[in-house]
Amino acid sequence: MDNKPSSRLLSLDVLRGITIAGMIMVNNPGSWGSIYAPLGHAQWNGLTPTDLVFPFFMFIMGISTYISLRKFNFEFSKPTLLKIIKRTIVIFLIGLGLGWLSLSFRTYSSLSAEGLGGFDLFIKSVTNFEHIRILGVMQRLALTYGITSLIAIFVKHKYIPYIIVTTLIAYFLLLIVGNGFEFSEQNIISIIDRAILGDNHMYVDSGVILDPEGLLSTIPAVCHVLLGFYCGKVLFSTKDNHERITNLFIIGAILTFAGFLLSYGCPINKKIWSPTFVLATCGLASTFLALLIWIVDIKGHKRWTPFFESFGVNPLFIYVAAGVFSILLGNIKFTYEGEIISIHGFIYKICLQPLLGDYLGSLCFALLFVGFNWVIGYILYKKKIYIKI
């Protein structure tokens, strides 16, 4: 048991790892038609456990941003600015690259029946830029990190809570006047995103062009990361872990209570990143982090942590690698008993589904995929290799 005050918190890496493992698991079921209810997103309004993993990661990213910029005393300098801009662009381009890779494979598959020559088929597949999705998970991380970092070095931190509150209120008013809580293309979010990005460059959800990582809904997502940043400020204002968890529990209770109380007038909704979604998920993340600090950093229960640390010390690299592997598994195909099947399909339909059934087989595929990526993360973790993006 280690009760010594420390500025280093293992629980931060653990929570970061839990969120990455969770994101990989829920993004890679054996079959999208066979998912246990807690492992699926809410169809519109509401909150499921799956809806927590991405906002939890963004909350932790806010804390990590505070830790990173603290080394530069939150002061503007050309090297600091260039570092922020460079990292924002790199993360954005990686996300765009993942989307391009997935689209290239899908285009290749759809055009392969047209009898095109191999070279023409390849060229048309990799140059299908008119249908590439511009935004996505990595792109949202890039934009929110970049904007939060710029605010952190240009604005006095005492004004950050006012920026958060003002922005969330303004966004709520925009949702109210613009059919923002309606699942349709008449939603102000869909209208503005389509006007800027174009219909062909957005995510289509059940036939409706409404991107859950769209441009307009990135505004409250910035507030999400800013809340994490400010909690980082509160967290590292002391080295006493007991005081840390007290502060985080208080913040978590206030935000969670406010989020669920206000949800009667402003529904909790991940797809539009509603203000109450920001409050509730940040509150729950703050509370969960406080619990982990108590378990890991105060009580010293660390035997179970290396699994999640393996994800947490290289979070973006592992997430991107998992994205690439997922695309390859779903698109590399071969002939099995006269039928063309992907590696993904073979593992699930031929190996797991007959033995475990639809739902349990689908879950086991997701867990096996998490385990596969964990092996990569664990090797890097043991060798103390940290890949920064």
Residue ranges per domain, the chain? 11-40+301-389, 54-298
Q: What is the pLDDT of residues 211-230, one digit of tens each?
A: 999 999 999 999 999 999 99
**Residue 329 is which amino acid?**
L
Q: Which of 32-36, 90-94, 96-100, 126-130 has the lowest mean pLDDT?
A: 126-130
Q: Which residues contact 71 (CB under 8 A, 6 or more apart)?
A: none
Query: For 233-250, what is each residue's pLDDT tens digit?
Result: 999 998 899 999 999 999
Tell me: pLDDT of 171 over 50. Answer: yes
Distance CA 275, CA 89 (A): 27
Q: Is it the case that residue 7 has pLDDT exceeding 80?
A: no
CA-CA distance, 243 to 59, in Å (whole number)?
A: 20
- pLDDT at residue 195, as a whole number: 96
The band of 3, judged by pLDDT with boundaries at 50, 70 and 90, is very low
Yes or no: say if 276 and 266 are a contact pair by the CB < 8 Å rule: yes
pTM here is 0.92
Q: Which residue has the tokens 């804390």?
A: 63
* Residues whose CB is less than 8 angstroms from the CB of residue 159 and which lie 6 or more positions away in sequence, other chains included: none
Read off the pLDDT of each residue in 359-388 and give the average, rounded to a whole number: 95
Of 4-13, 55-64, 327-336, minimum mean pLDDT range: 4-13
**pLDDT computed for residue 98 by the predictor:** 95
Pairing relationship of beta strands 339-342 and 333-336 according to DSSP bridges: antiparallel
pLDDT category, 117, cuts 50, 70, 90?
A: low
Mean pLDDT within 29-37? 93
pLDDT of amino acid 115: 66
pLDDT of residue 125: 85
What number is the average pLDDT over the span 129-155?
A: 95
> Residue 286 has what pLDDT?
97
Average model confidence (pLDDT) across the chain: 92
Taking the CA atoms of the chain, what radius of gyration do you get in angstroms? 22
Nearest in space to 289 (alpha carbons), one of 9, 15, 52, 62:
15
Residues 242, 293: Cα–Cα separation, whole Å: 9
Query: What's the pLDDT at 4?
Result: 40
Q: Answer yes or no: is pLDDT of 81 > 60.
A: yes
Q: In this structure, are residues 18 and 295 in contact, taking their beta carbons and an 8 Å threshold?
A: no
What residues contact residue 377 under an 8 Å CB cut-off, 6+ apart? Answer: 310, 311, 313, 314, 318
C-alpha–C-alpha distance, residues 142 and 76, integer Å: 20
- Which range has the worst mean pLDDT, 19-23, 104-108, 215-219, 306-310? 104-108
